[in-house]
Amino acid sequence: AAKGAWCPACGAAAPAPGTQRDALLALAKQSILAKLRLPARPGVPQPPSRGALLTALRRMRAQRSDTAAATPGMLRDGRLLTLLSVLCAGFSSSHRVHLHFRFSQEVTGSTEILQATLYLFWAAPGAQPITVRLLQPDPAGSNMTVASETQLEVQRSGWTTLDVGAAVRSLFRQETPRLTVELEVPEDWGSPLPSDHSDSHWPFVVAQAQARTPHRVHRR
Amino acid sequence: GVDCGADSRMCCRQEFFVDFKEIGWEDWIIQPEGYHMNYCAGLCPLHMAGIPGLAASFHTAVLNRIKVASAAAAVDSCCVPTQRRPLSLLYYDRDSNIIKTDIPDMIVDSCGCT
């Protein structure tokens, strides 16, 4: 009802604007949760920045349409999962940049990795190639060992991709599923690390995985 | 349909936008940034009964006169949504899966009298 008027349905005086707004906000929350069949709003431990996530999702969709065209025989029976891991921590010294990507343990225990791609964004690449090392924890101690080393050439600014399937596959057999990437970057290159939280060009890893079918035992 | 103005009394659509950041939901709802929870408000006098919005035409004018004349058949008429569209949401579920869902009939586009 208009301000100061009475409500035609129940005859009560119109609520104060603040009260009415709070009631509508509460109604909006309840309506969305009910329609999503959620008892309460989910808690998200450390969501990546929205811009970074939307950029990654768009790149993924572009890759999926290419992949589907290139490999029409891909699994169509719904057991195919797409895993996305956005950079969770990154440190850079003079020439070296360390990137860390986490995967949740519930996923690693129940899936097999089919392929995995690392996406890096370079605003100002240089002429020489960079060295990309995939590190994994040393079983004997606390250090890291080099699982693979690659020379990566970047011709122009924008997104660059690197196949990290083998490294992620071996990662999924370990206790703490965390991929560490070391980049050795010449002096004149910019850093692939995001300048701040609003920067949407965060490095990320996309993995195509297949849900492991439960182990079936046939008794005779 | 008619959108409510500052002092609208007749059946109209009242716009109401919920900013997810304002209610602290921007961390689990990735897209969109808010929800247009528009609603219908206002009175439905007899002459507006059965008209989805003010269709200013000759036929409406004639119908109005007939309804006013037959006030005896007074009937309750309510201001309700006559056009709605889905709300598309991209959000995290409890297991940090990214889900896209289209919830039907969540956004009111126009109102009218029953």
DSSP secondary structure letters along B44-92: --GGGTT-SS---SHHHHHHHHHHHHTGGG-----EEEEEEEEEEEEEE
What distance separates the 2 farthest-apart alpha carbons in chain A? Answer: 80
Q: What is the mean pLDDT of chain B?
A: 83
Residue B55 has pLDDT above 60, yes or no: no
Asked if A11 has any chain B CB less than 8 Å from its own CB, the reply is no
On whether any CB of chain B is under 8 Å from the CB of A8, the answer is yes
Q: Tell me what the mean pLDDT of segment A169-183 comes to.
A: 83
Band (A108; pLDDT cuts 50, 70, 90): confident
Question: B21: pLDDT confidence band, cut at 50, 70 and 90?
Answer: very high
Chain B residue with the nearest C-alpha to that of A29: B23
Q: Which residues pair with A119 in a beta bridge?
A: A161, A204
Look at A200 and B24; give whichever has higher pLDDT.
Answer: B24
Distance of CA A8 to the CA centre of its chain: 51
pLDDT of residue A200: 80
Q: Which of B7, B22, B35 sits opposite A32 (nearest CB)?
A: B35
**Tokens read off for A60:** 């993924």
User: Cα–Cα distance between B1 and A76 in angstroms, integer?
Assistant: 45
